[in-house]
Structure 1
Amino acid sequence: MATLIQSYEQQYAVLTAEITSKIGRLKVGNEDIREQLSKEIQANFEEANDLLEQLELESRGAAGAGAGGRTAAFRAELLRVREEFRKVLSNSAAYNIDEDMSYEDWGPSSPRQQLLDNSERLERTGRSLTDGYRVLLETERVGAEVLRDLSGQRETVQRARGRLRETDEQLSRSARLMNSMVVRGLQARLALALVFVALGLLATAALYYSVT
Structure 2
Amino acid sequence: MSTLIQSYEQQYSVLTADITSKIGRLKSSNEDDREQLSRQIQANFEEANDLLEQLELEYRGSGSGSRVAAYRAELQRVREEYRSVASNNATYNIDPDEYEDWSMVNEQRQRLLDNTETLERTGKTLTEGYRVVLETEQIGAAVLNDLSSQRETIQRSRGRLRETDEQLNRSSRLMNNMVMRALQERFILGAVALALAVLTAVAVYFYVT
Give the TM-score range, shorter chain. Answer: 0.5 to 0.7
- 5 Å-filtered alignment, 1:109-188, equals 109-110=104-105, 112-177=106-171
Unaligned runs of 5+ in 2: 186-209
**What is the DSSP-based 3-state SS (H/G/I as helix, E as strand, rest coil) of the residue aligned with 2:147?**
helix
How much has 1:167 moved relative to structure 2? 1.8
**Aligned residue among 95, 102, 123 for 1:107:** 102
Contact 2:22 2:41 in 1 (8 A): yes
How much has 1:36 moved relative to structure 2? 3.5
Distance, in Å, in 2 between the alignment partners of 1:148 and 1:79 is: 40
1:79-111 deviation digits (Å, cap 9, x = unpaired): 443233234334457425657x39x9552333x
Change (3 A) 1:39 1:184: farther
Report the counterpart of residue 40 of structure 1 in structure 2. Answer: 40
Letter in 1 for 2:104: S
Shifted more, 136-145 versus 19-28: the winner is 136-145
1:154-198 deviation digits (Å, cap 9, x = unpaired): 33223222222222322343444456667889999999xxxxxxx
How much has 1:118 moved relative to structure 2? 0.8
Q: How many residues align?
A: 200
Distance, in Å, in 2 between the alignment partners of 1:147 and 1:57 is: 21
Report the counterpart of residue 27 of structure 1 in structure 2. Answer: 27
Contact 1:9 1:55 in 2 (8 A): no
TM-score, length-normalised on structure 2?
0.59
Shifted more, 141-150 versus 161-170: the winner is 141-150
Distance, in Å, in 2 between the alignment partners of 1:172 and 1:38 is: 85
Distance, in Å, in 2 between the alignment partners of 1:45 and 1:136 is: 24
1:25-84 deviation digits (Å, cap 9, x = unpaired): 12223455434422321122223334555559969x888xxx79x93x654553443233
Distance, in Å, in 2 between the alignment partners of 1:132 and 1:181 is: 72
Contact 2:5 2:58 in 1 (8 A): no
Contact 1:6 1:132 in 2 (8 A): no
**What is the DSSP-based 3-state SS (H/G/I as helix, E as strand, rest coil) of the residue aligned with 2:102?**
coil
Contact 1:3 1:136 in 2 (8 A): no
**Aligned residue among 83, 98, 115 for 2:80:** 83
Contact 2:15 2:44 in 1 (8 A): yes
Contact 1:28 1:95 in 2 (8 A): yes
RMSD, aligned CA: 5.0
Letter in 2 for 1:109: M
Q: Whose RCO is larger (CA < 8 A, sep 6+)? A: 1
Distance, in Å, in 1 between the alignment partners of 2:141 and 2:13 is: 31
Q: Which has the larger radius of gyration?
A: 2
Q: Percent of aligned positions with the same letter in both sequences? A: 40
**What is the DSSP-based 3-state SS (H/G/I as helix, E as strand, rest coil) of the residue aligned with 1:41?**
helix
